[in-house]
Structure formats: C-alpha cells, structure tokens
Amino acid sequence: MGRIFLFLTAIVLSGGAAMGGSIAGNAVGKTGIWVGGILGGLVGASLSSWLAARLGWISNSQRARTTIGTAIGFLMAAAIAVNTLSSPVGPIASTVLAGLGAVIGAGRMREDDR
C-alpha cells in the first residue's frame, strides 16, 4: 500500500510544486515561468521522498534513490508537457512519470531496511 501512496504523493507534490514555481517565476517573465516550474518540480520530488521516508513508505536508505527517480520522471514529464501544450492531455498524463520514477527509484525494500 505504501507504494501506491508514494506514487500518488510524488505526482501531487512534484506537480503542485512545479505549478507554484511557475506562478512565482511569472514575476520575472517568460523565462521565469519555465525555470520556476522546473525548480519547483525538483523541490517537490525531494519533498515527496522525504515525506515517504518520514511516513515509513520507504526506508531512509531508499530516500536518495527515490528522489533521483522522481526527479528524472518529473524532468521527462516536463519535456513531454512542453511539447504537448496544445492539448491538456499530454501535460496532465505526463505527470504519471514522476510517480513511476519514484516507485522505480525506491526499488524493493530489503529485509534489513524494515
């Protein structure tokens, strides 16, 4: 059950933080929207891993791998979203990649990590 929560948390936090970063970056201009969105999403990836470890969904030893997996998934999602802005389906569906990255990055929990 923890993997499902990790998946959903990674999607919500990385996507929400990306949106917040884009909104904050808007004050700087068009470039700020993109930079703020990417930085916000990466912060959200880190937050989702921290929260998952804190709640016991992953072990502390899995946290770095989970952060990296979520960040890679988010960056892939951002690349897809930028290239499919003409339709809402692409940007929304691509957020699933952050969740998949988190689950893949976390890997399997070893006995000694429990």
Range of the domain at 48: 2-109
Identify the pLDDT of residue 71. Answer: 96
Q: Model confidence over 57-111: pLDDT tens digits?
A: 999 999 999 999 999 999 999 998 888 878 888 777 788 999 999 999 998 765 4
Classify residue 65: in a domain, yes or no. Answer: yes
pTM (two decimals): 0.87
- For 110, the token pair is 């070893």
pLDDT in the model for residue 111: 47
pLDDT for 35-70, tens place per residue? 999 999 999 999 999 999 999 999 999 999 999 999
Question: Which pLDDT belongs to residue 112?
Answer: 46
81 assigned to some structural domain:
yes
Is the separation of the CB atoms in 98 and 10 below 8 Å? yes
Tell whether 79 is covered by a domain.
Answer: yes
Q: What are the backbone angles phi and psi of residue 68, rounded to the nearest 5°?
A: -65, -45
Tally of domains within the chain: 1
Q: 1-11 burial by CB neighbour count: b if 16+ within 10 A, else e?
A: eebeebbebbb
Residue 72 lies in a domain: yes
Please check whether residue 97 lies inside any domain of the structure.
Answer: yes
Is 84 inside a domain boundary? yes
- Residue 114 located in a structural domain: no
